[in-house]
Amino acid sequence: MKQHLKTVLSLTVICAVVSVLLALTNDITAPIIEKQQNEATNAALAVVLPGGEDFEQLDISAYELPATITQAYSEKNGGYVFQMTTTGYSSGFVVMCGIDAQGKVTGATCIASSETLGVETTYGASLTDATLETIDGVDTVAGATKTTQAYRNAVKDALNAVVILGGGSVDLRDEAQILADNLSAALPAGEGKFTSVFITEELDSVSAVYRADNGAGYVFVSGESFVATDAQGVVTSEAAEDVKTLIAAQAQKLLSVTQTEIDISGYADMPSQVQKAYKTSTGNYVFELRAAGFGINGDEWYNPSGEYIYLRVSATAAGKIIACETVSQKETDGIGSACADPDFYTQFHGKDETNYREIDAISGATITTNGYKTAVSKVFEAIKLLKGDA
Amino acid sequence: MSKNSHLSIFLKGILLENPVFVLILGTCPTLATTTTVIGALGMGLAAAAVLVCSNMAISLLRKVIPDTVRIPCYIVIIAGFVTLVQMFVHAYLPALYDMLGVYLALITVNCIILGRAEMFAGKNTVGKAALDGLGMGIGFTLALLSMATIREILGAGSFAGIAIPFLSDHKIEIFTKAPGGFLVYGIMIAVVYKLTHGKAPRKREFGCEGCPSAGMCHAGTCAKEDA
C-alpha cells in the first residue's frame, strides 16, 4: 500500500513541478511571442495599407458585414484591412485589401488562390485608388471575367464594410435580389416566385413582364415602377389613374394573344437556324432558333463541344424585333456564356433588318456573337418567306 | 583513471557510440531536418539542450522515482524540457521555430533522449549523466551537421543558405528529398562503421548480444523483462 502511494505521489509531484516550471516560462515568453506575431501580421497588413500602424483585429460577428469578409483589422489612422474569401471561376481565392480613412483602396492582393488563370495575382493593382463610387467602372479582364468580377466584388464588399463599420447602412442586395424584392413588393400574393414573360406584342412603356409562378397575377415593369395585375389583367397596385389605364391596356393586349404553330417543314428555303415558328393572333411572329456559336464552330485551338445556343425571338410582321432572349446555351463559361446575359440579348429589342448588327459584341467571344447575330438575321428571312406564303 | 573515464563518457557519444550513426536512434528527425545546415544545427542544439537537462534531472531524481513508473516520469520530465526549449525558441528565434516546425515538439519522443535516460541517466551520478548528455548531444548535432552539409551542398548548392558558385547551377535535387536522405544516411553509417571498426559495439544479431546498447545495459535485463 505504502509502495503504491509513493508511486502515485512521486509521479504527481513531478508533474506538478514540471507544470509550474512551464507556467513560469510561459509567463516570460508569451508576451514576446505575441509581440512577434503582431509584428508579422502588421508587416503583412502594411503591404496592402502602406503606412498603417497598430493594427487591431475586429470582431466581425458584431456587424452585419458582407458574407465574403472573413477578417477585418482597424488601424490607428482610421484605415482598415479586410480579408475576403470569394468564389471565382473555379474553387475561389482569398483577397486582402487595405482601405484608407478616405475610403480609397490602398492596395489589394491575392494571398491564396486555386483559380486556373493566374489573373487574380495581378488584378489587385488595377483596383488601387478605387472608391465605392468608382469601383464599378474598373474594367474586368477579358477571358477571365468571372475571376476578375469576383475580385472586384470582393473589394467592393470591403468598401461597403467600411461604411457599415462607420455606422452607415449599405444596400448589399445584388441586381437579382433587388428585382425579386421589387416584384414581391408589387405582388405579395406571388410568394416571391416569378418568371419572366416572353413578350410577343409591342407594348407601350413596358420594358418587362413577370408572371407569378402560382398564377396570382402579373407584374409589369414600366420605367422605374412595378405595377401588378391579377391573372385577368386587372391592375391591383396603387398607381395614378393614367398609369393604371395604360398598364390595363397593355395587359389586355398581351394576355388576349394566342399563338398557333406554323408548319415550317413545307418551306424548302427555311433557314436551318429556325427550329419552330408561331404566328400570333395579332399577326406577329415568334421563332425558336438555334445559333451556331463557339460550341459548334470552335476555333483552331479548341474542339467544339457540339452544343448550340437556343434562343427565342418575337417580331412584327413588318420585321421589327419585339423581344429576344436566350433560352439555353453551353458556350465557354465566363466568356461566351455572356450571351445568356439580358444585357446582351435585350440589345436586339426594337431592332430591324437595317440595324440589328449595331449591338455591342461580347468581349472576347466574337464567334459566339457572330453566331447569335446570324441566327437573329434569319428571323427577317423567315418572316419574308412566311409572308410570301400567306 | 576517474578523469579518464569521465572523458570517455563524454567522448563515446561523439563517435564510438554516436546516437545517429552507431546506435541508429532518432532516425526520423535526422532525415527530416538535415536538408539545411541551419535547420540541422538548430535541431541538434535544441535536442542537446534537452538531453543534458533531462539527463541531469533524471539522474538527480533516480532514487526518488519508483521503478514501476519511471517511463512516465521520464516522459513528463523530457516533455517539460522540450516545451521549455520550444517556448524559448519561439520567443527568441522565431525563424528557427518556423523552420523546425513540428520536429521541435517531437524531440519529446526522440528515442535518443528517452534512450539515454533509461540506459544511462537512471543509473549514474549527475556529473556523469550531464557528461553523457553533452557527449550524446554533441554527437547528435555533429551527425546532423555532417549529413546536412552533404545534403545541402549537393542538393541545394549552398552552405547555411550561402550559395556556392558552380554547385548552385548543378543541383542534385534528390539529396534534398527523402531518398537522398536515406542514401547519405546509409553511406555515413558505413563510413562510421569503417572508422570505428572493431571498437564500436557490433550488431551480431537481434537480441541482447546484438543490441548496440548491450555494453552499458545490465546483461540479461531484456531477457528478464521479456520473461
**Residue A135 and residue A49 in contact, taking contact as beta carbons nearer than 8 Å:** no
Best of A12, A29, A39 to substitute, by most chain B Cβ atoms within 10 angstroms, is: A29
Could you tell me the residue range of the domain that residue B76 belongs to? 2-196
- Would you give the distance in Å from CA A112 to the centre of its chain? 23
A47 to chain B nearest CA, in Å? Answer: 20
The pLDDT of residue B133:
92
B93 and A CB contact within 8 Å? no
Above 80 in pLDDT, residue A385? Answer: yes
Taking CB atoms and an 8 Å limit, are B79 and A18 in contact across chains?
yes
Q: What is the pTM of this model?
A: 0.53
The average pLDDT across B159-173 equals 84
In a domain, B212, yes or no: no
The pLDDT of residue A20:
94
pLDDT tens by residue, A324-371: 988 888 887 777 888 888 888 888 888 888 888 888 888 778 888 888
- Alpha helices (H) in chain B, listed in sequence order: 2-12, 27-33, 37-60, 70-92, 94-100, 102-105, 111-119, 126-156, 178-195, 221-226
Distances B220 to A6, A352, B207, B208, B214 between C-alpha atoms, Å: 28, 104, 10, 7, 9
B182 and A CB contact within 8 Å? no
Enter the C-alpha cell of residue A263: 408548319
pLDDT tens by residue, B98-124: 888 788 888 888 888 888 888 888 888
Phi-psi group of B160: left, alpha or beta (phi > 0 → left; psi -120 to 50 → alpha; rest → beta): left
B96 to chain A nearest CA, in Å? Answer: 13
The pLDDT of residue A190:
81
pLDDT tens by residue, A61-72: 888 788 888 888
Share the mean pLDDT of chain A: 83
Residue A5 CB-density burial (10 A; 0-12 exposed, 13-18 middle, 19+ buried): exposed
**Residue B55 and residue B128 in contact, taking contact as beta carbons nearer than 8 Å:** no
ipTM: 0.73
Instruction: Using CB atoms, pick whichever of B77, B80, B94 lies closest to residue A36.
Output: B94
**Residue B125 and residue B106 in contact, taking contact as beta carbons nearer than 8 Å:** no
**N residues, chain A:** 390
The sign of the torsion formed by the CA atoms of B31, B35, B37, B42 equals negative
3-state percent breakdown (helix, strand, coil) of chain A, nearest 5: 40, 25, 40
Domain count, chain B: 1
In a domain, B201, yes or no: no
In a domain, B202, yes or no: no
Which string of DSSP letters, residue by residue, matches B46-110?
HHHHHHHHHHHHHHHTTTTS-GGGHHHHHHHHHHHHHHHHHHHHHHH-HHHHHHHTHHHHGGGG-
The pLDDT of residue A92:
76
Give dist(CA A331, CA A305) in Å, integer. Answer: 9
Taking CB atoms and an 8 Å limit, are B91 and A28 in contact across chains?
yes
Distances B48 to A135, B12, B85, B116 between C-alpha atoms, Å: 58, 15, 11, 12
In a domain, B114, yes or no: yes
The pLDDT of residue A26:
92
In a domain, B94, yes or no: yes
pLDDT tens by residue, B32-80: 888 889 889 988 999 999 999 999 999 998 888 888 888 888 889 999 9
Taking CB atoms and an 8 Å limit, are A7 and B69 in contact across chains?
yes
Band (A184; pLDDT cuts 50, 70, 90)? confident
Q: How many CB pairs under 8 A join A and B?
A: 49
- Would you give the distance in Å from CA A204 to the centre of its chain? 29
Nearest CA in chain A to B76: A15
**Residue A283 and residue A202 in contact, taking contact as beta carbons nearer than 8 Å:** no
The average pLDDT across A237-260 equals 83
Enter the C-alpha cell of residue A38: 503582431
* CA nearest to A326, candidates A343, A307, A345, A308: A345
The pLDDT of residue A214:
86
Taking CB atoms and an 8 Å limit, are B66 and A21 in contact across chains?
no
Please list every residue in chain A whose beta carbon sits closer than 8 Å to the beta carbon of residue B76: 11, 14-15, 18
pLDDT tens by residue, A82-95: 888 887 666 678 88
Taking CB atoms and an 8 Å limit, are A29 and B61 in contact across chains?
no
Give dist(CA A111, CA A63) in Å, integer. Answer: 24
Nearest CA in chain A to B63: A10
**Residue B42 and residue B128 in contact, taking contact as beta carbons nearer than 8 Å:** no
Place of cell 456564356: A337
Query: How do A309-315 and A285-291 pair as beta strands?
Result: antiparallel
In a domain, B113, yes or no: yes
Helices B2-12, B126-156: crossing angle, 10 deg rounding: 30
In a domain, B223, yes or no: no
Give dist(CA A308, CA A294) in Å, integer. Answer: 8
The DSSP output letter for A312 is E
